[in-house]
Amino acid sequence: MFIVRWVLGRIILFLNFVFTPKKRQRPLAEQAKVDEQTQGLALYQYAACPFCVKVRRAIRRQGLNIVTVDAKQAEHQQMLVEQGGLAKVPCLRIDNAGETQWMYESSDIIDYLNKRFA
């Protein structure tokens, strides 16, 4: 099973590389404002997870600079479980004025990003 997952993961990464979406271009002042708003966002993800790839592609399409965190590393996975409640990816951590929200489900994350930054 490990070999099948590994092969499928590499295929997903290759196809993502070949068909990478174009990054949205904004005027510098507007991009700086968007970058400031994305400082409180972090995406917990696995590199070859198809749902994580879907979210990363949406982030690229929007031209957002969101930190990605490898949730396979023990300390990141522990934080995801302790603070977010689930060891599930993709997960978007949203820090707003001292309050932290954890958003799971790729479609919910993409909808949130589209509403906030589109």
Q: Is residue 35 part of a domain?
A: yes
Q: pTM for the whole thing?
A: 0.91
In a domain, 73, yes or no: yes
Q: Following DSSP, what letter does each residue of 19-81 receive, concatenated?
A: TPPPPPP--HHHHHHHHHHGGGEEEEE-TT-HHHHHHHHHHHHHT---EEEETTSHHHHHHII
Domain count, the chain: 1
Cβ count within 10 A of residue 69:
19
Residue 7 maps to a domain: no
User: pLDDT digit string (tens) for 103-115?
Assistant: 999 999 999 999 9
Domain annotation covers residue 98: yes
- Residue 103 inside a domain? The answer is yes
Is 86 within a domain? yes
Q: What is the CATH number of the domain that holds 95?
A: 3.40.30.10
User: Is the model's pLDDT at 97 over the cut of 90?
Assistant: no
Structural domain boundaries enclosing 102: 26-117
